[in-house]
């Protein structure tokens, strides 16, 4: 379920305080207050595009996986 709809439901319908909602969600009280005042449906988080540290080794890793195949799994014993 959407986080903002849960926060609004707890506050408006269930009558929970901002402090109690903050305790339950782990968000700060200021964040809860900001969400309750906003008209947004969901918070927008902008995640920048970042290259992976393994991009430089991708071809080599894929070739190693293709060469070894199921042998990797056969060498490891069962986990208990």
pTM to 2 decimal places: 0.50
Does residue 18 sit within a domain?
yes
DSSP 41-77: SS----------TTGGGHHHHHHHHHHHTTHHHHHSP
pLDDT tens digit string along 63-73?
888 887 666 55
3-state helix, strand, coil in the chain (%, to 5): 60, 0, 40
In a domain, 46, yes or no: no
Q: Determine, yes or no, domain membership for 10.
A: yes
How far out from the chain centre does Cα 69 lie? 31
Q: Residue 7 sits in which domain range?
A: 3-37
Total count of domains within the chain: 1
Question: Would 57 be classed as within a structural domain?
Answer: no
CA distance 31 to 49: 25
In a domain, 63, yes or no: no
Is 24 part of a structural domain of the chain? yes
Confidence at residue 18, expressed as pLDDT on a 0 to 100 scale: 96
**What is the pLDDT at residue 23?**
95
pLDDT tens-digit map of 11-50: 999 999 999 999 999 999 999 999 899 877 666 677 788 8
pLDDT of residue 76: 57
């Amino acid at each position: 379920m959407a986080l903002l709809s849960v926060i609004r439901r707890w506050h408006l319908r269930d009558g929970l305080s901002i402090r109690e909602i903050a305790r339950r969600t782990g968000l700060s009280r200021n964040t809860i207050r900001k969400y309750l005042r906003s008209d947004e449906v969901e918070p927008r988080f902008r995640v920048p595009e970042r290259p992976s540290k393994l991009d430089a080794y991708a071809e080599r890793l894929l070739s190693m996986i293709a060469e070894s195949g199921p042998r990797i799994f056969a060498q490891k014993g069962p986990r208990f």
